[in-house]
Amino acid sequence: MRVLILVFLCLSLDTYAQELLLKPKFILDIETGKLLQNDIHVKDGIIVRVGKNLSSKTATIISMPSKILLPGLMDTHVHLIGNTDLQGYENISESSYLSTLYGVMNARKTLHAGFTTVRNVGASNYTDVALRDAINRGIIDGPRMLVSGPPLGITGGHCDNNLLPYELSRPGQGVVDSPWEARKKVRENRKFGADLIKFCATGGVMSKNTDVNAKQFTFQEMKAIVDEAHNHGMKVAAHAHGLEGIKTAINAGVDSVEHSSFIDEETIMLAINNDVFLSMDIYVSDYILGEGALNGILEESLEKERKTGRLQRENFRKAVNLGAKITFGTDAGIFKHGNNAKQFKYMVKWGMTSLQAIQASTIVAADLLGINNIAYIKEGYYADIIGVEDNPIVNIEALENVTFVMKDGSIIINQP
């Protein structure tokens, strides 16, 4: 009997803790940019009521008179697995096990910075699948994750391992060199738990001996990847800097183009007409050429970055002006996790309004991810909510200092 009472008490305490009434200074309406004087009632991870001066007999009141609340932020291009202090050749010195443990720390930092959802685009050994599952099971704290597994790429391209000589080298786990190999790899990634497919449609900045302007994969190969992925309901993200690779990937039917550095106006229109999202990581260039240069990034990469970053920012402005669907993707992992929000001020500097930049990281990102019931503070939506001390519409850098994080209705941080 005593045990039964105890069990009952624990259960009811638990439910009690899961019912909260948040009383902030304001809620930022991310559709209009207006501040609303509303409270939020959260129960079992879901927003159940939003309104003025709410009261409840059962919910715990959380008073937060200094905070402006908005939906949890999303970053649709991160690499949570790995030690961000390692660059170039140092990267091959650590095991996948250790990289995954760094991933645990990186996931926590990302969530604490206000990013409640991320898309992880590229990791070996399905370590990203394990991290996602550990978060979903509540073993560790981290953002909601969508993961790709090993990114597909050509022999010797970005997404292969190019640092070692022939006799010591092992191909990247996603290397495929024909449409049928590509289909098989998509099937394999799905089998082992990937949510989406990432492939490299051009060379990259951070890889050895690849050309950012060179297309990787033929149209037929890209088409096979997209067809196979879409057949299984998986979205496809294509890494692409050079114009030819970007165009070919869009024509092959990808859902998002990552980086999009050398995109021109005609191709921005092609993306718009094909409903393709552009993800343009316009903060990371300053990191690579600043701090990163001191940390062992290969000279070859620095040289490529000098020719990429500036143009990417100019093309970002063009894409904003033409009305492209731009999602918030940073490539965190090159720089330290938890600094994702630094990109907001770059997006504003290069042509977006603050509201557009916030929407890129909420409404637009959720649309790309295909997750419903997320990205709004509305009845029936997941209680993924963050708080800041200043109005980000007026001061976008307020998002760099997140003082309240709730994910799935649980309070992760609440700093006074």
> Which residues sit at the interface with ligand ARG, rule CB under 6 A?
204-206, 259, 261, 281, 284-285, 305, 308-309, 312, 331
- Cβ of residue 259: shortest distance to ligand ARG, in angstroms? 5
- Give CA 110 to chain center in angstroms: 10
CA 181 to chain centre: 28
- Closer CB to ligand ARG, residue 155 or residue 220? 155
Instruction: CB nearer to ligand ARG: give 132 or 304.
Output: 304
CB of 212 to ligand ARG, least distance (A): 7
Under a CB-based contact definition with an 8 Å cutoff, are residues 87 and 47 in contact?
Answer: no
The answer to whether 280 and 329 have CB atoms below 8 angstroms apart is yes
Q: Take residue 370 and report the two structure tokens written for it.
A: 């295909």
Q: How far is the CB of 104 from ligand ARG (least distance, A)?
A: 22
Determine the angle formed by the axes of helices 243-252 and 265-273, rounding to 10 degrees.
10
Residue showing tokens 């969530």:
111
- The residue among 144 and 259 lying less far from ligand ARG, judged by its C-beta, is 259
Closest contact distance (angstroms) between CB of 343 and ligand ARG is: 10
Q: In angstroms, what is the minimal distance from the CB of 300 to ligand ARG?
A: 11
Sign of CA dihedral 386, 389, 391, 392: negative
User: Shortest distance, CB of residue 82 to ligand ARG, whole angstroms?
Assistant: 13
Decide whether 205 or 222 has the Cβ nearer to ligand ARG. Answer: 205
Query: How many residues make up the chain in this entry?
Result: 416
252's tokens: 């092959």
CB of 299 to ligand ARG, least distance (A): 14
Q: Coil, helix or strand for 202? A: strand
For ligand ARG, the closer of residues 230 and 336 by Cβ is 336
**DSSP secondary structure code for residue 11 in this structure:** H
Structure tokens at 32: 């209009």
Side by side, the strands of the sheet bearing 73-78 are 73-78, 115-120, 144-147
Smallest distance from the beta carbon of 227 to ligand ARG, in angstroms?
A: 25
State the nearest-atom distance from the C-beta of 410 to ligand ARG, in Å: 32
**Identity of the residue, 47 or 78, whose beta carbon is nearer to ligand ARG in the bound complex:** 78
From CA 402, how far away is CA 342, in angstroms rounded? 12
Smallest distance from the beta carbon of 395 to ligand ARG, in angstroms?
25
24/204 with CB nearer ligand ARG: 204
Structure tokens at 159: 């997404």
Residues 6+ positions from 173 with CB-CB distance below 8 Å: 124, 125, 150
Q: For tokens 């100019």, what's the residue?
A: 314
Closest approach, Cβ 312 to ligand ARG, in A, equals: 5
Instruction: Give the other-Cβ count within 10 Å of 45's Cβ.
Output: 14
Nearer to ligand ARG, 112 or 208 (CB): 208
User: 321: exposed, middle or buried (C-beta count within 10 Å: 0-12, 13-18, 19+)?
Assistant: exposed
CA–CA distance, 81 with 91 (Å, rounded to integer): 12
Helix (H, G, I), strand (E, B) or coil at 148: coil
Taking CB positions, which residue lies at the least distance from ligand ARG? 204
Measured from the CB atom, the residue of 64 and 302 that comes closer to ligand ARG is: 302
Alpha-carbon distance 170 to 164, whole Å?
A: 8
Q: Of 128 and 141, which has the nearer Cβ to ligand ARG?
A: 128
User: What residues have CB less than 8 Å from 123, skipping those under 6 apart?
Assistant: 79, 80, 81, 147, 148, 149, 150
Residue closer to ligand ARG by CB (options 116, 340) is 340
Cα distances from 110 to residues 80, 91, 120, 246, 260, in angstroms, run 9, 21, 12, 29, 24
